[in-house]
A and B are shown apart, each in its own frame.
Chain A
Amino acid sequence: MKVLLVDDEVELVSAMAERLGFRDIDADWTDNGEEALKMAASTEYAVAVLDMKMPKMSGLDLMELLAKDHPTMKYVFLSGHGSETDFKAGCAAGCSYLIKPIQIEDLVAKIQEAQG
């Protein structure tokens, strides 16, 4: 099972990928939307973990673009902002929503849940 991590904070996303690796989840990561689209095009990911707020392209925007080419892909959103509107947008898209900082176990659970 391949997981794609997208967050503008490189340090965060790299550490997260490595920790998921310890838990037998094969995670690729990137810090921007364009790169994520390229990676998704070449590799089949089951779940995408997206940060809500990123420069240029937000998590929701990226999800829409990814959803066009990869209809089966599931999404988990991360946000540092406790904003209600973001929460509603995330939930409306029918995906999981986690508020940073997160517990890695919660994330693993969400990924597994999303994957079905």
Chain B
Amino acid sequence: MDIYEKIRPKFWDTDSGTGPGKNLFNYRRIWRIAIVILAVVALVPLMVMACIDYNVTQRSLESENLLRTARTTSNTRRTVAYFLEERTNALDFIAQHQGLSTLRQSQTLKRVFASLKNSFGGFVDIGIIDSQGRQVAYIGPHDFLGIDYSGQEWFTGTMERGTYTSDVFLGFRDEPHLVVARRVRDEKTGEDFVLRATLDTGKFNAILSSIDLPGGGDAFVVDTQGVIQTPSREHGDVFSKVDLFLPTYSERTSVNQILAKDGTDYTVGYAYVRGTPFIVLIVKKTATLMEPLETIRMELLWILVSSIIVILLVIVGVATYMVNKIYIADQTRARTLHRMEHTNRMASIGRLAAGVAHEINNPLSIINEKAGLIKDLFVFKKEYAHDDRLLSNIQSILDSVTRCGKITKRLLSFARHIDVEQDSIEFKDLADEVVDFLRKEAEYRSITITMDIPENLPPFVSDRGKLQQIFLNLINNAFQAMNDGGQLYIAARKITENRLIFSVDDDGCGIPEADMKRIFDPFFSTKKKRGGTGLGLSITYGLVQELGGTMAVESEVGKGTVFTIIMPLQGPHKA
């Protein structure tokens, strides 16, 4: 709680108050609005930028993944194609170089097979099949001489097309193998034979398994029916049907994103190996491929969150600082205004004191003269005791002293520091008191003051000093507006159960329409050159509001002005 006390800004606990300036001094509201506006302006572009950045990164990562998969697929296709082509070309070479009749000799075939195994590798066996499908020569681990292949698909395919690469199949030997075959014509007899070699699937598989796939994934070969030819890690065993959708034949490598049956998203690269029934598949889990995005996203989120926190902290700090400054400025302004009000009041009191001094001087002169006369009587007449004249003179001295006393008391009641002091006030007494101060001036200037105040007006509770100042200001203003011999009319009425209305009505110069709106503004004065501060009416207005009353003015140039004040019988309760 101590820390909270320390960081809590000064304006936090201020009462926004009531009245027309309510929003002007609601510092928490200003603070909130500042924070919201700054936050929106700062954070919205930041978030938009973050979203755009995220999307761009995602898109570029996706396209990069597709490209990379396509490249791997193409390379693999090339490797597979080259592997098979190399071996079929070797067969071609042997057939052309040795001639079929030479090859049919078991010794020759054996030698050729041995050099094939040594130089190329991957060969399991080699055989020659005559046009009837009968194997007429064979070198290999099995005893396949004389076997009839006439019903086999690869045999008919080779006889028709001249060259053939088979699927991986089990065949007679009951183990997966693949076959490359060549149709060879015997130059002497003109008869067609098929030169056939079996390739080791292990070697073939090794090509695929040796491919380095970043982030895991599968590289394997299927045939055009989708039957898996080489071992795959996740997409089924050899000879089972692959669980992925196969696209139609295309010369080019294609990469698709495929949703598998189990709901996993795969990025799959396809490449048809020309001249063979093989399709090379590179299968990667899209999620794995997109893993870098996760890192980027975390980084982005981290930066975003820390930026937001920093921005919010700065905004809150700056807003607090600024609103605090405004609050302090307002406080200073209020203090200054209050000081001016006080100065103005002091000036009023000073003027009053001067007036009062004048008023006191007259009775003092009388005291002086009367006392002097008594002295003279003693000096010149030599008679004292039981002298009625002496007594009446003494009486007149006493009367004059009483008059002095009264005036002094009134002066004091005015000069008294005007605190919030609730007093039960008879308006008649108050008006008399105020008017008495100005009665002499009124007499000198032949201004007639008419008071229309009913005797049965209820007393009201308010601040006497403030009320005195209000009326003194109003009557002073009226005097300044009036010519000598004017009429001032002061009236009071009860308008409702708990409100009184007072009016001060002069027949002076009046207020022009243009000035009407500004007369209650501080520092507005039409007589600045004559020493007016322009604070009189503004302070009067402030005082009326302070006492819970309202003030209105009606004026006509050349005819006069009426100030009307409506005052509650019960003043505002102050805590």
Contact = CB atoms under 8 A, between A and B. Distances in A.
Contact of A12 (B358, B369, B379): B369
B172 interface: no
Contact of B368 (A53, A81, A101): A101
Interface stretch (A15-23, A40-48, A63-71): A15-23
A9 B362 contact: yes
A76 to B, nearest CB: 14
Interface residues of A, number: 20
A54 B446 CA distance: 11
Contact of A15 (B358, B361, B370): B370
A101 B358 CA distance: 11
For chain B, the bracket of interface size reads 20 to 34
Contacts of B368: 100-102
Interface string B325-367: 0000000000000000000000000000000011101101111
A101 B400 CA distance: 13
Contacts of A56: 446
B365 A100 contact: yes
Contact of A81 (B361, B364, B396): B361
B369 A80 contact: no
A15 B372 contact: yes
Nearest to A58: B444
A55 interface: yes
Contacts of A58: 444
Contacts, number: 59
A46 B92 CA distance: 168
B400 to A, nearest CB: 8
B443 A55 contact: yes
A101 B380 CA distance: 22
A80 B369 CA distance: 14
Interface string A99-116: 011101000000000000
A19 B372 contact: yes
B350 to A, nearest CB: 14
A102 B361 CA distance: 10
Given A19-B376, A22-B376, A81-B358, A12 B444 contact: no
A85 to B, nearest CB: 13
A80 B370 contact: no
A9 B361 contact: no
A22 B362 contact: no
B31 to A, nearest CB: 56
B358 A80 contact: yes
Contacts of B365: 9, 12, 80, 100-102
B420 interface: no
B444 A15 contact: no
Nearest to A12: B366
Interface in A1-27: 9, 11-12, 15-16, 18-19, 22
Contacts of B393: 15
Contact of B369 (A19, A22, A54): A19
A100 B376 contact: no
Nearest to A56: B446
Interface in A72-113: 80-82, 100-102, 104
B310 interface: no
Contacts of A12: 362, 365-366, 369
Given A18-B373, A19-B372, A100 B362 contact: yes
Contact of B366 (A11, A18, A53, A55): A11
A24 B184 CA distance: 180
Interface in B366-388: 366-370, 372-373, 376, 379-380
Contacts of A82: 357
B324 to A, nearest CB: 50
Given A9-B365, A81-B361, A53 B444 contact: yes
Determine which residue in B361, B369, B372, B376 has the highest number of CB atoms from chain A within 10 A of its CB, and name it.
B369
Contacts of B370: 11, 15
B404 to A, nearest CB: 12
Nearest to B400: A11
Contacts of B396: 11
Nearest to B441: A53
A17 B331 CA distance: 62
B376 A9 contact: no
Contacts of B373: 15, 18-19
Interface in B475-507: none
Interface string B429-444: 0000000000000011
Interface of A: 9, 11-12, 15-16, 18-19, 22, 53-56, 58, 80-82, 100-102, 104
22 contacts: A9-B362, A11-B370, A11-B400, A12-B366, A15-B369, A15-B373, A15-B393, A22-B376, A54-B444, A55-B444, A80-B361, A80-B362, A80-B365, A81-B358, A82-B357, A100-B365, A100-B368, A101-B365, A102-B365, A102-B368, A104-B369, A104-B372
